[in-house]
């Protein structure tokens, strides 16, 4: 008779043993299922993080690319404007007093003397490529209030492209009333001038200022910049009172702004 205990078949096992085995298997299966679900979630979260980082990188690249393109465009425009000024100066140095446009700092200083709250048009004479025009718009003067008098046909074409709602008048600013006949319905609140006045004799400069004030409302300013240390509009016998700004050093060459008003 053998002393080795016989193995029971699964069918011969007790009910408790079979239930215990089933519970262990079920628990293992549940843990495996949970682990698999956690793994899927982890993979999904990882993919989401990768996608987020990729989107941020792509967005940053797009932003930097756009900024670079914008700077290139601005540089091209600036070089183009300077080339136009040089050509205009070579063609007619008495009409174009500088080989470069006014700097943004000088343009803003000139525009600062115009009150946008006052109703009425603003006359700009000698706008060139439009740096002061842009400053006036930034100041709060709506584009359709601007009347720009420019002698150069090339600059007039450029101004019409850049400021389509402004009134662009091709003509001689030194005959301002005649040039603006039919273009000015109401008296203006300011005349802003970038003309190279010192290229003209004193009598012609005085006549320009006198003519300009006939187009202005009472106490309105005639604004003129200059590279000189003396007044570009002759003061003696003019009946004008004047204010002069400090030097705008962020301009080549440095310049000052003179503001003239009729003495009351």
Q: HSE (CB half, 13 Å, CA atoms) of 78? A: 9
Among the ranges given (16-20, 89-93, 228-232, 244-248), the one the predictor scored with the smallest mean pLDDT: 89-93
Tell me: pLDDT of 94 over 60: no
Q: Which two tokens stand for residue 53?
A: 């980082």
Q: What share of the chain is helix, strand, coil (3-state, %, to 5)?
A: 50, 15, 35
Q: What mean pLDDT do residues 85-113 have?
A: 71
Neighbouring CB atoms inside 10 A of 82's CB total: 14
Q: What is the pLDDT of residue 196?
A: 94
Per residue in 125-168, pLDDT tens? 999 999 999 999 999 999 999 999 999 999 999 999 999 999 99
Q: Sorting pLDDT into bands at 50, 70 and 90, what band is 96?
A: very low
Q: pTM here?
A: 0.66
Q: What is the average pLDDT value for the chain, to the nearest integer?
A: 84
Q: How confident is the model at residue 50 (pLDDT cuts 50, 70, 90)?
A: confident
- Secondary structure letter of residue 236 according to DSSP: T
Assess contact for 188 and 123: CB atoms under 8 A: yes
Give the mean pLDDT of 217-232.
Answer: 96
What's residue 48's pLDDT? 79
Residue 116 CB-half CA count within 13 A: 14
Mean pLDDT over residues 240-246, rounded? 97
pLDDT at 76: 56
N-to-C CA span, the chain? 142
What residues form DSSP beta bridges with 188?
216
Confidence of residue 11 (pLDDT cuts 50, 70, 90): low
């Amino acid at each position: 008779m053998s002393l080795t205990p016989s193995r029971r078949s699964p069918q011969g096992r007790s009910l408790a043993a079979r239930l215990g085995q089933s519970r262990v298997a079920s628990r293992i299966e549940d843990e495996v299922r949970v682990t698999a679900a956690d793994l899927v979630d982890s993979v999904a979260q990882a993919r989401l993080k990768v996608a987020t980082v990729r989107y941020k990188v792509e967005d940053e690249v797009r932003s930097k690319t756009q900024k670079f393109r914008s700077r290139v465009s601005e540089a091209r425009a600036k070089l183009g404007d300077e080339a136009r000024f040089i050509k205009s100066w070579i063609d007619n140095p008495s009409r174009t007093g500088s080989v470069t446009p006014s700097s943004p700092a000088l343009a803003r200083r000139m525009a600062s003397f115009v009150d946008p709250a006052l109703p009425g048009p603003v006359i700009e004479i000698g706008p060139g490529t439009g740096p002061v025009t842009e400053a006036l718009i930034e100041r709060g003067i709506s584009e359709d209030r601007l009347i720009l008098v420019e002698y150069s046909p090339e600059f007039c074409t450029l101004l019409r492209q850049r400021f389509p709602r402004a009134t662009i008048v091709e003509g001689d600013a030194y005959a301002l009333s005649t040039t603006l006949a039919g273009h000015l319905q109401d008296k203006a609140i300011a005349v802003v001038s970038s003309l190279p006045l010192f290229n003209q004799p004193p009598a012609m400069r005085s006549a320009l200022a006198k003519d300009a004030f006939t187009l202005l409302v009472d106490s309105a300013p005639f604004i003129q910049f200059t590279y000189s240390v003396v007044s570009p509009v002759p003061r003696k016998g003019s009946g004008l009172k004047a204010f002069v700004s400090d030097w705008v050093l962020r301009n080549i060459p440095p310049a000052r702004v003179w503001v003239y008003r009729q003495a009351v």
